[in-house]
A and B are shown apart, each in its own frame.
Chain A
Amino acid sequence: MTGTIRRSFTALTMASAMVALAACSPSSPSSSSGSQGDTKNVTLSVWSWRTEDVAAYTTIFAVYEKNHPGTKVDFKAFKNTEYNLILTTGLAGSGGPDVAQVRSYGQLQPSIASKSLLPLDGVVDLSSWDANVVKSAKGKVDGKLYAVPLAQQTLQMFYNKDVFAKYGLTPPTTWAEFMAINTKLKAAGVTPMAVGAKDSWTLPMLHQVLAAPRFGASAFETAVTTGKKTFTDPDWVASLDVVKQLKPFMPDSVVGVAYTDAQILFTSGKAAMFPGGSFELGFFQKQNPGLKLGVFQVPAPQGSPAMEPTTTGYADGAFGISAKSHAQAASKELVTWMATKEFGQLVADNVKQLSAVPGVSYSDPLLKEMKENYTKNPTPYLLLVDFRYGAPSGTEVLGTGVQELLMGKKTAAVVSADLQTGVSQWFKPGK
């Protein structure tokens, strides 16, 4: 009896161990030559991770098909969490997309390095666009443009107008007012700010919303990317201390509170403010249609190098052309259209996102306000825009660091030093 069991057991052991390894292997690149197709009677396959926007894109591409007879757009959306892998396979082998929605900044680089995307310099002209946004679609090494940015996100403070009205509060214009609001709300038994620090990815965003002016916002970006300053700079350390200082105004045991809990605290009216991205808007409105929402920029903390409040922004997704596309001419025509105001306006109206195209107008008053705030005082989401091009990424190190800071396990100076050590593994100033 034991003989058989033993043998089959050994086989089982080996099999499970092998599956663990086999699951990890990406598909190997295969070569096939792309050829120039004609623009008449062509079907372009467009891939995206926005399964929730299929209806919106069908509407959008119907407009394109109407104005471009002979071109059909076949829009396919895949599950967000599996998209990177599906796209990598699609771009490397046959049967992939002609035009694909691609990630921004650092996460775009592997596709560029493997020469999976066509350079678009000379095809589309984005010279009038926000430089922060255009950066998201460029190759870090060669500086060429590889995609047309689609959407933009801004980071700011959301607030519940009813709760503010109940306690006679108005959006703050100075740091002292901001602190007074927090103190008053806490005394009244309302959680001032809904923060879900258990999910570390939200924390570099929290830091941007609360303290971007404290480290110097855009000026600091220039200094740190050119090597004039590092993350051990006293202003950067002080900006982390601002986050720590505001901990009493976050939910109790904040590092145990999940991001989704924070969302519910805010939409249910148990918390008065929510530091978050413009991408929250749709969820908030759906979750509680009666919620009266407002947004404001957190005033500059005392001692900030720049006293102007800022709104943080970054590009979120872009469309690029597969180097293996058989219909490159038609694909180029489509992405050129994606850089027009017509497309931007359609995205703004149908997808309810901030478009990356300049000059688009918004019917939703909050989207409009967020965009205006950003246009007036823009600053990049520093760790995403500049420090996600290697391992460990700046957002990962700071996310964990802010958790340690909030738990009192590390000081702001130590967290800053960790960040500097982490990104130094791959980041060389001036490149």
Chain B
Amino acid sequence: MFVAPALLLFGVFVLYPMGSALSYAFFSWQGTSRGAFVGFENFVALFTQEPFTTQLPRAFGHNIAFFVGTMLIQNTLGLGIAVLLHRRARTRRMLQTLYAMPYLVSPIVIGYLWTLLLSPTFGPVNALLRQVGLKSWALPWLGDPTTALWVVVLVSAWQWVGFPVLLYGAALGGVPEELSEAALVDGASHWQTFRSIVFPLLVPAIGTVSILTFIFAMEAFALPYALGGSTGNPAGATDFISLLFYRTAFENGSTNAIGSSSAIATLLFVVIFGGAVVATKVLRRHQVRVGA
């Protein structure tokens, strides 16, 4: 009864548009007017027709690489920072805030900022590298397909690292002091205490961070758009599924743009939803095992 208002809002603003987007994928379109029901034709086209047959797998690969890259950085660096901060009671608050600062800024702004910093003509990063004698390191970071994707990963991790720091900070606060103290009294080293007592209790938080990173990485749009434009410059090296969706929906002159792009959106939803459900299941099983 009391959930009714919230449910209504959720239904009108989330479920209904979602359902209609799903239905759009099963029709052929003439601009904004809906044509005949075509079943899975729009989906089949994603796997049989150019440009999708080359661009979709490529973009998907980039999304996965982006996920793995950011997850590794956030779970190692983020956890490391959180553990170090946890021991510094006095400056913890201030530093947590500082680390979280970049994610208060729009990814579009962050993207343009780094484009300027990394510019091969005027960028201070390359100027600095040249001055300290690392001339061979002064690369066109965003203009070389071998480095561009990793720049996106690093900039994203730089922007979002404050988030896992906060989550891990909270999780560390939830680990009872007595456990660590008892272990230390029993002669365990700091590292042993962390590995055998604190770390297992952090696993739920690590799972949470990983799943949120997965969702975030699969639907990444703003930062890649700001760093590489809608075509994933250079030469598609920073193309993501969301950018492919954007091009299909808004930039090509195809009159069936709504059909094809809705099919991409639905596919993306299935991947994100499926991935998140499986990961949550695995995480839950682990929690049952450690009895947390």
Interface residues of A (CB under 8 A from B): 2, 5-6, 9-10, 12-22, 24-26, 28-29, 84-85, 88, 91-92, 105-107, 109-116, 197-201, 251-258, 261, 264-265, 388-393, 396-397, 399-400, 403-404, 407, 409, 421-422, 425-426
Contact = CB atoms under 8 A, between A and B. Distances in A.
A199 B14 contact: no
Most buried by B among A200, A252, A393, A404: A200
Given A198-B229, A255-B235, 9 more contacts: A13-B215, A20-B272, A22-B14, A24-B265, A25-B20, A25-B24, A26-B258, A253-B144, A392-B51
A426 B255 CA distance: 11
B135 to A, nearest CB: 12
Given A255-B140, A391-B254, A17 B276 contact: yes
Nearest to B264: A24
Contact of B121 (A18, A25, A265, A426): A265
B233 interface: yes
Most buried by A among B13, B121, B269, B276: B121
Contacts of A422: 50-51
B252 A17 contact: no
A261 B34 contact: no
Contacts of B268: 20-21
A29 B247 contact: no
Interface in B23-37: 24, 30-34
A317 to B, nearest CB: 15
B47 interface: no
B279 to A, nearest CB: 9
Contacts of A112: 31
B156 interface: no
Interface of B: 13-15, 17-18, 20-22, 24, 30-34, 49-51, 55, 115, 119-122, 139-145, 204, 208, 211-212, 215, 218-219, 229, 231, 233-236, 245, 247-255, 257-258, 260-262, 265-266, 268-269, 272-273, 276-277, 280, 284, 287, 292
Main secondary structure of the interface of A (DSSP, over half): helix
A113 B219 contact: no
A15 B218 CA distance: 14
B82 to A, nearest CB: 18
Contact of B251 (A111, A251, A396): A396
Nearest to B32: A114
Contacts of A85: 250
A392 B55 CA distance: 10
Most buried by A among B50, B250, B268: B50
A2 B21 contact: no
Contacts of A425: 49-51
B67 to A, nearest CB: 14
A172 to B, nearest CB: 25
A403 B234 contact: yes
Given A24-B21, A106-B252, A393-B253, A16 B234 contact: no
Given A24-B261, A198-B142, A390 B254 contact: yes
Contact of B30 (A12, A92, A114): A114
Given A9-B208, A26-B258, A88-B32, A256 B141 contact: yes
A426 B254 CA distance: 9
B265 A10 contact: no
9 contacts: A17-B273, A20-B218, A25-B18, A26-B32, A29-B33, A201-B229, A253-B140, A407-B144, A425-B49
B234 to A, nearest CB: 5
B21 A25 contact: yes
A409 B234 CA distance: 12
A256 B114 CA distance: 13
A199 B252 CA distance: 17
A352 to B, nearest CB: 26
A315 to B, nearest CB: 14
Contacts of B211: 9, 13
Contacts of A198: 140, 142-143, 229, 233-234
Given A255-B140, A422-B50, A426-B254, A17 B269 contact: yes
A255 B144 contact: yes
A107 B286 CA distance: 52
Most buried by B among A9, A22, A88, A91: A22
A107 B253 contact: yes
Contacts of B51: 391-392, 396-397, 422, 425
Contact of B31 (A9, A116, A403): A116
Nearest to A262: B121
A261 B140 CA distance: 13
6 tightest A-B CB contacts, nearest first: A256-B143, A256-B140, A106-B253, A114-B31, A25-B21, A253-B140
Contact of B236 (A111, A115, A252, A400): A400
Given A112-B31, A256-B141, A393-B252, A22 B17 contact: yes
B18 A21 contact: yes
A29 B258 CA distance: 12
B269 A21 contact: yes
B119 A403 contact: no
Given A25-B20, A106-B253, A198-B142, A14 B273 contact: yes
Contacts of B18: 18, 21-22, 25
Contacts of B144: 253, 255-256, 407
B189 to A, nearest CB: 29
Contact of B231 (A201, A257, A389): A201
A205 B231 CA distance: 16
B214 to A, nearest CB: 9
Contacts of B139: 253, 256
Nearest to A424: B50
B17 A25 contact: yes
B21 A21 contact: yes
